[in-house]
Amino acid sequence: MSALRRNPQKIYVKVRADHMPDGSTRPLMFRSEDGPAVRIDRVTDVREAPSLKAGGQGVRYTCLVQGRTLYLFHDEPYWFVED
């Protein structure tokens, strides 16, 4: 994973998620290596989409976190947010 960390626009996170019976994933919270756990208030959209700033391809979760919109990406096997 150290080679992947060279992109400064990707903030890699650990995600706690529910795995639904239909096979989908619903992220509940995330945490970066040196930050606090952040609770996701609501997921408003899920789609296959590239990261606009950081590059990469995967599933983009549009999340509401403390009144702000945040993009959380799942690019197997990693999760990241854009800086």
Q: What does the pLDDT look like over 24-47, one tens digit per residue?
A: 899 999 999 888 999 999 999 999
Are 63 and 44 in contact by the 8 Å Cβ rule? The answer is yes
Q: Which two tokens stand for residue 39?
A: 């609770």
Between 8 and 26, the more confident residue is 26
What ranges in the chain are assigned the alpha helix state H? none
What is the value of pTM for the model shown?
0.84
Distant-in-sequence contacts of 12-20, Cβ < 8 A, 24+ apart: 12/78, 12/79, 12/80, 13/72, 13/79, 13/80, 13/81, 14/79, 15/72, 15/74, 15/79
